[in-house]
Amino acid sequence: MAGITGKDAVLTDYANKLATLDAPKGRSLTQDALRRLTRNKAAVVSIFLLLAIVLIAFIGPYFLPWSYSQVDWTAIRKPPDFDKGHFFGTDQNGRDMLARVLQGTQMSIIVAAVATVVSVSIGVVYGAIAGYFGGRVDAVMMRIVDIMYALPYILFVIILVVMFGRNPVLLFVGIGAIEWLTMARIVRGQTLSLKEKEFVEAAKAGGAKPWTIIMRHIVPNLTGPVVIYATLTIPEIIIAESFLSYLGLGVQEPQTSLGTLISFGAPVAEVLPWMLLAPAAVLVTMLLCLTYIGDGLRDALDPKDR
């Protein structure tokens, strides 16, 4: 019965007052990490710069007067010329360098994105399975990783690309299929400690199957290290792709990538410096941004490490 002693009325008033007051906001771990990330100036600048590069690479070509494979016979080997719309000059075939750099950047970004997704997915699933089951399964699976580590990585990619034809899809898969090794090791290490936690035990007691436990309980908890390592993998993949293209094993004409552009620009850099400078500047800026973002994420997601 309400209101006999008047105590309930007081309590209700108090409860209403509390409800209207601004309660101190709780902060989740993600919000904490975001705050730390936004406080890191280098990382924030890098994120914006990288976003700008990605946007320009994908939208920019629609606003250019020239396409990347179009030949301008009146401007062959010409330095930047704003009247004709060759903002970065032209190459030996009279193709607009800005259009080619944008197309090359697109290609490098696509390769990096696809190869990263491939390598992260393989690495996470493989590492989580090895770590979760442990024992003999773990020993065999990690031995396989050891063996693949012993294969000379770049030779292996060269063999793959040369033997199975130069198609970009293979390039993605080839690079991605090799970059997953370190990811698998990191994930396995984390899983080994995660699987001893109470919530995994609770899930087991609740009758969850191993696959469900791995995908629903273990993998989500790996987000931190996986995100950090993935950001650090992207520059490696971009370098690998541009290196293969540099050797003439990657993307084929008339398509291009930053590595191909640099390999064509390097021999003529003395007389046509814009052919080397433009793609080199974009490549270095992208790699620099990714490194700063990776470092920033590491500091943000893993405060213990600082």
Residues of this chain that bind another protein (CB under 8 A): 143, 146-147, 149-156, 158-160, 162-165, 235, 239, 242-243, 246-247, 259, 262-263, 265-266, 269-270, 276, 280, 283-284, 287-288, 291
Q: Which of 18, 175, 30, 44 is nearest to 112 (CA)?
A: 175
Nearer to another protein, 22 or 270 (CB): 270
Nearer to another protein, 42 or 113 (CB): 42
Nearer to another protein, 143 or 197 (CB): 143
Nearer to another protein, 19 or 163 (CB): 163
At 102 the three-state DSSP class reads helix
Helices (H) and strands (E) in the chain, counts: 12, 0
What is the smallest separation between the CB atom of 279 and another protein, expressed in angstroms?
Answer: 9
What is the smallest separation between the CB atom of 46 and another protein, expressed in angstroms?
Answer: 12
What is the smallest separation between the CB atom of 278 and another protein, expressed in angstroms?
Answer: 13
Nearer to another protein, 18 or 150 (CB): 150
Q: Which residues are CB-contacts of 22 (< 8 A; sequence separation ≥ 6)?
A: none
Is residue 92 within 8 A of residue 75, CB to CB? The reply is: no
What is the smallest separation between the CB atom of 153 and another protein, expressed in angstroms?
Answer: 7
What is the smallest separation between the CB atom of 287 and another protein, expressed in angstroms?
Answer: 5
Nearer to another protein, 50 or 203 (CB): 50
Is residue 43 within 8 A of residue 295, CB to CB? The reply is: yes
Q: Which residues are CB-contacts of 171 (< 8 A; sequence separation ≥ 6)?
A: 111, 115, 161, 241, 244, 250, 251
| Cα dihedral: 160, 259, 255, 121 (round 10) | 50
- Per residue in 256-265, is it b (16+ CB within 10 Å) or e — as a string? bbbbbbbbbb
What is the smallest separation between the CB atom of 299 and another protein, expressed in angstroms?
Answer: 15
